[in-house]
Amino acid sequence: MSFKCPVTDQRFVLDHVVGIGDLTNDLEIVDAVLEGAAALAEGEFAPLNRVGDEQPSRWNEGEVTTPPGFKGAWRSFVEGGWMGLSAPEYAGGQGLPLILSAALMEDLNGANLGFALCPMLSFAGIEALDRHGSDELKRDYLPKIVSGEWPATMNLTEPQAGSDVGALKTRAEPNGDGSWRLKGTKIFITYGEHDLSENIIHLVLARTPGAPGGTSGISLFLVPKILPDGTRNDLRCVSIEHKLGIHASPTCVLSFGDDDGAIGWLVGPEMGGMRAMFTMMNNARLNVGLQGVGIAEAATQRAVAYAQERRQGGKAISDYPDVRRMLLRMRALTSGARSLVYYAFGQADRGHRGDEGAALRADVLTPLAKAWGTDVGCDIASLGIQVHGGMGFIEETGAAQHLRDARIAPIYEGTNGIQAADLVGRKLGLIGGAAFDLLLADIRAEAADPRLIALVDAVEIAATTFRQSPSEDRLAGSYPFLTMCSILVAGWLLERQANILGDGAFHDAKRASADYFLSVIVPEALGLAAGAQSGASLLYSVAVEALA
């Protein structure tokens, strides 16, 4: 199967969900970006997807070699200026809306998720350095990251400190000249070492002398692989992980300061690391939601192609009702997830332009986009295997790789359970609850489908209950609540699109997806209300031993 980027649907969503015309006056640039991104993804990244899965990145004495063809494809990415698409112009970027980089990343994720992980973290690093870096760091490093010559990484996790970032032990000691020396070990560092570039820029969390415990005492440092004088910094890749999926992406264990200490520079103020890192993480979380969308699109295309070609009982299996059901569900969920994640990016764009209300809405939407987007990616990849039948369980069809690659996305950049906890613990109460309530009010004002209105009512009731409940009860019911909210927003956006559809094959397919979503998936979300509100009391009435 040859992967094809969903350019027509992307443009439709940009117009009618994002409102791209409000973000840029040059719609010819929008078309050029979508077409160019599709050509890059289909022509350079997609042909290497199977290669990277079967010939993964290799470690040898601290050096990492990426799969065959990756260096050439990365060179094409850099030479095309794609890394700087939405980066600030002062650093050599094009200053285009963030949502256009999102469309690019959806394409790259669908074409080759293992490869797309490298630029994804650089996009996040650019935003963090732009917002929190000193003038000197921006001058010396940002243009190189923006060009793609020096990819960036994110270094949070340690062996004893996974989601509990405050437990990290990496230390930073001042040198007296404005630089610091870091010592410690970081794990699960995506593209922490590779042969795609001569330098790699690591953004590293560490604790300075006298800093308090927990997250309040953490600082962020920029630590380059190669120092400004051309010498190798005191950091090395100890090993890379052997994983279920995304085999092409080297997931590294990095050791900082085995000798004198790895030299780095503060990003933002001392003990302001979490604020700077959350800038990077929130960007990454939206992009991880896009990973779910990209995998969903690829898995759906593969399943449709197989179902149309595979004949059984004298006809293509796509003619059988249950196969049609699965294919339509895949397409409807993909459309819903794309709409939700693109909408979140669009609100982030408006927030960056000074719209405080949009910035708050982006905060509310981020856990939905990350968690539900990645859940959808896994669900659709699994359905894709089912459509293939027994051949889906055989590696040669490629269907299994989608599920193996997608499965990490609900785990990293904050597990989906953490996203649900963030929704009910923080986002539900933003500015006294107004940010969340205004989103519901907008949906209620526009929604016409009675099932969608019923879901608004259910979400509103659950939100009121959560606000009056103890923290443990809120957390226990948080995941079904997040799913309800995500499906509500996606259903609202799909209904909006369905109301302006015309004639033709694309419009007919779009209408069928929206109808299925509203008729089947929205009512399923209504059934989650019991889990959101009653799950907590049931959970805490059972002893842990009884669950073993």
Instruction: Return the H-helix or E-strand segment holding 498.
Output: helix 478-498
Spatial CA neighbour of 349 closest among 16, 20, 8: 20
Place of tokens 């890749």: 237
Handedness of CA 300, 306, 312, 317 (dihedral sign): positive
Q: Which residues contact 423 (CB under 8 A, 6 or more apart)?
A: 364, 367, 368, 478, 481, 482, 485
Gyration radius from the chain CA atoms: 23
Q: Is 260 in a helix, a strand, or coil?
A: coil
Say if residue 237 is exposed, middle or buried (CB neighbours under 10 Å; 0-12, 13-18, 19+).
Answer: buried
Strand partners, 316: 311
CA 150 to chain centre: 21
Q: Which residues contact 28 (CB under 8 A, 6 or more apart)?
A: none
Active site residue 413: yes
| Number of Cβ atoms within 10 Å of the Cβ of 511 | 15
Catalytic residue, from 106, 158, 297, 413: name it.
413
Write out the two tokens for 246. 């995304």
Distance CA 67, CA 49 (A): 10
Distance CA 39, CA 5 (A): 9
Q: Which residues contact 408 (CB under 8 A, 6 or more apart)?
A: 243, 244, 245, 246
Helix pair angle (321-352, 505-516), 10° resolution: 90
Residues forming the active site: 413
